[in-house]
């Protein structure tokens, strides 16, 4: 068992939650989705979260027995957490709200979606806690979403791209010699996805790749990585499959770029690309840092 405040303080310190300021993404999207349904999120969530949009989101009982790790707050993830958790348990996620990115082999997504009120109430009634960490986890010097992918692919970081200030979301790394087809098979196995989204050129020799977890589907980022010698680009999303004008515009921009790029472009799904850091890095970190158990909660469906 561990004190919740001890865990929160160490997480805040590791990821520099306060020093990082408000999350550049969720400081926009959390208010947007909850204001639209007239949910009083400012009163419901913890003061620090309402300020920074990272950190302790919901406070439960003080004694933590287990930390549960997930990426998106899907219905299934939250149902499992509420069902499997004991009073005081903590859920550590990457996103505070669901993101439906769409399925390249199925339906397009709705974009950002609020957590259902029934789940939020059930979490509070059972005295459970929720802590989310988005860009501070993406950009951390020690543990990050993209570094975890490089590590699992046995890559050696040689450069970076896609910056926020002086910190990079994307990494350029050298890997053992491979091919586009072999890399596809490796990624499907590593991320446990039924298929990947593939565009661009097919190469018989690859030894340098670009890695960026999550939504790496911006042409400017891809061009930057290509200019730094990447032969393949590994990310969560190659195409934006969000069913609105923004998504269709981004899809068209990517379609045009695909005709000119020299890279193999491979998407493993947004959520699966960000689960590796929870499964490998954060799972181990919690076990080493605290007297708690851990429980991994993968999504039933990675492409959604």
Distance CA 156, CA 172 (A): 8
Does 68 show up as a binding residue in the annotation? no
Residue 134, marked binder: no
| 95 carries a ligand binding annotation | yes
How far apart are the C-alpha atoms of 43 and 29, rounded to whole Å? Answer: 17
> Tokens 């979260």 correspond to what residue?
49
Is 138 annotated in some ligand binding site? Answer: yes
Handedness of CA 108, 111, 117, 120 (dihedral sign): positive
Q: What are the tokens at 165?
A: 């200030």
Phi, psi of 286 (to 5 degrees): -60, -40
Query: How large is the C-alpha radius of gyration of the chain?
Result: 19
| Strand 156-164, strand 111-113: pairing | unpaired
* Token pair recorded at residue 193: 């996805």
Q: Is 300 annotated as a binding residue?
A: no
Interior CA angle at 155 toward 235 and 200, to 5°?
40
Binding site membership: which residues? 94-95, 138, 270, 274
Binding site membership for a divalent metal cation: which residues? 94-95, 138, 270, 274
């Amino acid at each position: 068992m561990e004190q919740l405040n001890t865990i929160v303080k160490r997480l805040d310190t590791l990821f520099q939650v306060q020093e990082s300021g408000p999350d550049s993404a969720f400081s926009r999207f959390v208010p947007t989705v909850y204001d639209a349904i007239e949910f009083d999120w400012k009163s419901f969530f913890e003061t620090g979260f309402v300020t920074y949009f990272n950190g302790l989101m919901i406070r439960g009982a003080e004694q933590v027995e287990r930390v549960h790790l997930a990426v998106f707050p899907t219905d299934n993830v939250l149902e499992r957490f509420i069902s499997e958790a004991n009073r005081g348990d903590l859920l550590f996620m990457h996103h505070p709200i669901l993101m439906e990115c769409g399925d390249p082999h199925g339906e397009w997504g709705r974009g950002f979606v609020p957590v259902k009120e029934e789940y939020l109430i059930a979490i509070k009634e059972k005295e459970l806690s929720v802590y989310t960490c988005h860009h501070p986890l993406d950009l951390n010097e020690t543990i990050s979403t993209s570094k975890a992918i490089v590590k699992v692919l046995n890559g050696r970081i040689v450069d970076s791209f896609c910056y926020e200030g002086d910190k990079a979301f994307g990494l350029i790394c050298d890997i053992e010699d491979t091919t586009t087809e072999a890399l596809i098979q490796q990624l499907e196995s590593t991320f446990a996805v039924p298929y990947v989204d593939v565009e661009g050129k097919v190469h018989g020799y690859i030894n340098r790749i670009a890695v960026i977890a999550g939504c790496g589907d911006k042409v400017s980022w891809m061009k930057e990585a290509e200019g730094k010698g990447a032969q393949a680009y590994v990310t969560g999303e190659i195409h934006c499959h969000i069913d609105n004008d923004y998504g269709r515009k981004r899809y068209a921009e990517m379609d045009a770029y695909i005709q000119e790029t020299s890279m193999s472009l491979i998407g493993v799904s947004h959520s699966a690309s960000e689960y590796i850091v929870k499964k490998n890095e954060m799972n181990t970190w919690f076990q080493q840092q605290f007297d708690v158990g851990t429980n991994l909660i993968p999504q039933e469906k990675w492409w959604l």
